[in-house]
Amino acid sequence: MGRDIKFRGKCSGQSKYAGEWVKGGLVVPQEISNNEVLIIRAIADGCTTTYHVDADTVGQFTGLYDKNEKEIYEGDILRFHHNNKEYVCIVGWNNEVGAWCIRFNGIGYVGIRPLGEWICEYKIELIGNIFDNKELLEEVK
């Protein structure tokens, strides 16, 4: 069984769902107007719903889950504890590593590390995302 490839985006201001997060398949029109792309979500019995989302908020599902079984997406903010210290990090794709990685700044751990390795070793918790929770980024460089 393959990995579930899906995306998340925040509905644009012109949408009746403005400000809400939706998940599904991503469609990028040849010409993007108003910085919008589309997320298509299958409801049931072949029915789908289309949402106009802000292209800047779109993030891909990493295929990984936090300690509470929440899906982790690109742009999410995660927290974990190690040696009685709390670390906060951001999820993103790293071309050099060729994997989903976390970026953080903490004593003994500065830089970028592959997310998959850390998920296995630490009880990582999803605490927000870079669009709705900027205040959580104060420790992340």
pLDDT in tens, 80-105: 988 888 888 899 998 988 899 998 75
The rounded mean pLDDT for the chain is 84
* Nearest C-alpha neighbor of 29 from the set 52, 61, 56, 4: 52
**pLDDT score, position 62:** 95
- The band of 76, judged by pLDDT with boundaries at 50, 70 and 90, is very high
Supply the pTM of this predicted model: 0.86
Kindly report which listed range (10-14, 44-48, 57-61) carries the lowest average pLDDT score: 44-48
**pLDDT score, position 78:** 93
Bridge partners of 52, per DSSP, are: 38
pLDDT in tens, 94-139: 898 889 999 875 545 557 888 888 888 888 999 999 999 988 877 5
Rounded to whole angstroms, the Cα distance separating 58 from 37 reads: 9
Q: Regarding beta strands 59-65 and 71-73, do their DSSP bridges make them parallel or antiparallel, or are they unpaired? A: antiparallel
Residue in this structure with the two tokens 């205040």, named with its chain if needed: 135
